[in-house]
Copies of this chain bind each other. A is one copy, B any other.
């Protein structure tokens, strides 16, 4: 095994789909479709390395203010991803505001954790997620079934959380790649893991 230290829980901010599409001469909305396949490559790498939990930032309640064609495109990409995952191994939980019309109704059955195949890795998928919605939820955090993250990897160059699970992020190490998400290749993920090897964990102590 190349990596001595494997994070239990990795969070992923797959940013840059729209910029990638524009760079390829496509419309912004077309980028989301090309973000689905990288997600599965990453899922397979994590599963094979023994990562216990993987959380992906799908879309936020703020994102739904974008033009309708973009909104429909990222909603569809999220539904496609879940339907494809159903044929693999995972324990899937979709977390987001399912009371809103922006939440794809096909995903409602997955707002309670569902086991696919052997269920060898927990996969959390944030769909129509909002940090204020999460924190102001009745009966505690809406995302309470998502554990604290050890490593957050963001694609697309921006060094910010953009509302990604504020509570689970408090002690996470954050690694930012300049490459846009649809240009994902495994080496980018390995670069993040290489960096993670040399981060120390103090948790304030």
Cβ of A158 within 8 Å of any chain B Cβ, yes or no, is: yes
Q: Is the CB of B174 within 8 A of A174?
A: yes
Give bound CA distance, A163 to B166, whole Å: 9
Question: Which of A160, A167, A169 has its CB near the most chain B CB atoms (within 10 A)?
Answer: A160
Query: How many protomers of this protein does the assembly include?
Result: 2
Report A20 CB to chain B, min CB distance, Å.
16
Segment among A59-67, A83-91, A95-103, A105-113 that sits at the interface with chain B: A59-67
Q: Is the CB of B171 within 8 A of A169?
A: no
Report B-chain residues with C-beta under 8 Å of the C-beta of A166. 166-167, 169-170
Question: Which of A's residues lie within 8 Å of B, judged by CB?
Answer: 60, 62-63, 65-66, 131, 135, 158-163, 166-167, 169-175, 199, 203-205
- Listed by A's residue number, 11 A-B pairs whose Cβ atoms lie within 8 Å are A60-B204, A63-B204, A66-B205, A131-B170, A135-B135, A159-B199, A161-B169, A162-B170, A166-B166, A166-B170, A174-B174
